[in-house]
Structure 1
Amino acid sequence: MKFEVGDKVVIQHSNDEGEVVEIINDKMVLVDVRGVRFPAYTDQLDFPYFKRFTEKKLFPPEKKPKKYIDQLPPEKPAPGKKKERIALLADGVWLTFLPVFDSDEFGDEVVESLKIYLVNNTSVGYGFSYHLNYFGKSDFDLDNRIDAMQDFYLHDIPFANLNDNPVFECEYTLLKPDKTRAEHFETTLKLRARQVFSRIEEIRKKGEATFSFKLFDSFPFREPEETVDPRGVLSGSGFRIYEASRARQHLEPARSELDLHAEKLTDKPGSLDAFEILTLQLQTFEKYFDLAVAHHLPSMIVIHGVGTGKLRDDIHEELRTKRNVKSFVNRYDPRYGYGATEIFFEYGKK
């Protein structure tokens, strides 16, 4: 290993100086640059003294008059320059994965495990309760907090565990309560091994160290709550009363026809790569499938297009494991060709 924990290093592409704080493997380390930590490949780093001795100085350094601490102006951040973070991500809260590589018995580079980080690129701090489930069974739980514009290391998972359909669930609360915002907020991320394999290939080609999934943009506002109390007794005592038979009225409307083409789901489809579009499509499908079941729709048409068939295959794979699915079919239809799947639901007796 070229570097050890505590070594001072220089980031070649940015010329920033930092310190090695963790050895990830023989090709990657965790570097701290002015309080910001991120992974870096060792071939992208160098020792500061090598940089200083190899710099060509055409002129001797100019002697400047001494300045005392009370003479220095307050430091101002350079305009337009942001802190370098674990990943260059847009605003929002993200789940970021760092593949840890190792060599197998044949000398080939393989992914041994994934380091998982919660990345908060918002101006608000959150308390969070994180859970990792396999086939509905809890495997890892963590309660903690993450401040604004910070990264939080969660844990590692073996790469082979991706074959066990991991589900990442997280519930958030505001560190500073806001009466206009919801009391809590939940997100769920389901990963499939094939998606992660293709994502890792993409970042290797680009020379990047991590890949990420956006969990949400901003904490939602509080929704108005309706109470029903014909006698007024309980509500007068401070209790909130809900009528179960009207619960569906408070859900978002279901769709009997769902179009998953990228231009129907986002205003800027060109800004997303193929993997991000597929992830958005599958998350949208999950959302409206659940709404269709909640509203007891008899059937639902999902328009996935023809293309390579990857989106269709992933949806069919999900449908085979879903409760309340009586059957589904992908047959020719004059309106969609073979680019749509019709789902038929069944519900238990009341």
Structure 2
Amino acid sequence: MKFQEGDKIIVIATGEHGAVVEWINKKMLTIDVGGVQFPVYADQIDFPYFDAFTKKKSAPTKRSTSIEIPNREKKPVRNIPRDGVHLSFFPILDKDVFDEDVFSHFRVYILNHTDDRLMLHFRVFFKEQKELETKHAIAALEDLYLFDMSFDRLNDHPVYNFDFSLEQANSQKASHHAVSYKPRAKQILTLSEKTVKEHNASFSFVLFQSYPEKGMEVSAERTSDLKEDTMVDGSIDLSQLLKAGFKVQRKR
């Protein structure tokens, strides 16, 4: 492949400099620009020395006594819809002994597409045994890398437990919001194949669309093929949750 992990690159469309994080598939890779990681197609980036060689040298000008303040390098503009908190899977490909592409593992992220800064207590269970426990702060409209999960561990009945709370307490909002997510191997495999076939980088599931109001604390169990919650005016429709098989607990 043209690029290797750690290579310095330039984004052709914007001229911004960054570095290669890893390949996602044959055509896409993850890059880091100014601390922000996002997927791009390989033909959207190039090596910075090529850009330097192709730029025309400007004619020498007379020195001026005025001082010019250099412009700060612009970060990529991200137009993020306020559509909730998502769990995102990035399928990573590898080669088997026959040089065929196979799914190696997933990079798992939380996407905070809300204006709330959230605190997260995250735990992962395989075969009912806890194997990972971490705590994080997630800035508004930011993504957070959680962990890598190998493809074969889908057979070990994984369960992801999320316990969200607001970094700044709000008397009008719930003290916490818990979601338990259970990936289904068949569904994850189908979505992974579709993602690669359509040259996308990832697929995601909505954990919740807005942080619940006070008195509406919810403990929800979700699976990979469960439909999104029905939301009305930023609150949770408990009847829809009950129909979907959620375990709902009102704060007393």
**CA shift in 2, pair 1:293/1:17, >3 Å:** closer
Q: Does 1:280 align with 2:227?
A: yes
Aligned amino acid, residue 7 of structure 2: D
Output one character per residue of 1:153-186: Cα deviation in whole Å (capped at 9) or x when no partner: 1111110111223222100111011011011101
Corresponding position of 1:190: 182
Q: Secondary structure at the match of 1:105?
A: coil
1:116, distance to aligned residue in structure 2 (A): 0.8
**CA shift in 2, pair 1:224/1:213, >3 Å:** closer
**CA shift in 2, pair 1:105/1:291, >3 Å:** closer
1:6, distance to aligned residue in structure 2 (A): 4.9
1:130, distance to aligned residue in structure 2 (A): 0.7
* 8 Å contact kept, 2:89–2:202: yes
* 8 Å contact kept, 1:132–1:139: yes
1:205, distance to aligned residue in structure 2 (A): 2.3
Larger RCO, structures 1/2 (Cα 8 Å, 6+ apart) = 2
Number of residue-to-residue matches in the alignment: 231
Aligned amino acid, residue 243 of structure 2: Y
Corresponding position of 2:120: 128
* 8 Å contact kept, 2:24–2:90: no
Looking at structure 2, the residues matched to 41 and 23 of structure 1 have their Cα atoms a distance apart, in angstroms, of 12
* 8 Å contact kept, 1:95–1:213: yes
* 8 Å contact kept, 1:96–1:116: yes
TM-score by length of 1: 0.55
Corresponding position of 1:260: none
1:103, distance to aligned residue in structure 2 (A): 0.5
Corresponding position of 2:132: 140
Corresponding position of 2:37: 37
Aligned amino acid, residue 288 of structure 1: K
Where do 5+ consecutive residues of structure 2 fail to align?
A: 231-238
Corresponding position of 2:8: 8
**CA shift in 2, pair 1:159/1:89, >3 Å:** farther
112-121 vs 44-53, which moves further: 44-53
Q: What pairs with 1:58-207 in structure 2 (closer than 5 Å)?
A: 68-69=68-69, 82-83=77-78, 91-207=83-199
Corresponding position of 1:19: 18
Q: For the aligned residues, what is the CA RMSD?
A: 3.9
Corresponding position of 2:234: none
Between structures 1 and 2, the one with greater helix share: 1
Where do 5+ consecutive residues of structure 1 fail to align?
A: 226-250, 252-275, 295-350
130-139 vs 37-46, which moves further: 37-46
Looking at structure 1, the residues matched to 248 and 33 of structure 2 have their Cα atoms a distance apart, in angstroms, of 49
Between structures 1 and 2, the one with greater strand share: 2
1:201, distance to aligned residue in structure 2 (A): 1.9
1:293, distance to aligned residue in structure 2 (A): 11
Aligned amino acid, residue 143 of structure 2: D
Q: Secondary structure at the match of 1:204?
A: helix
Q: What pairs with 1:192-231 in structure 2 (closer than 5 Å)?
A: 192-223=184-215
Looking at structure 2, the residues matched to 224 and 132 of structure 1 have their Cα atoms a distance apart, in angstroms, of 25
Looking at structure 1, the residues matched to 99 and 241 of structure 2 have their Cα atoms a distance apart, in angstroms, of 40
1:26, distance to aligned residue in structure 2 (A): 8.6
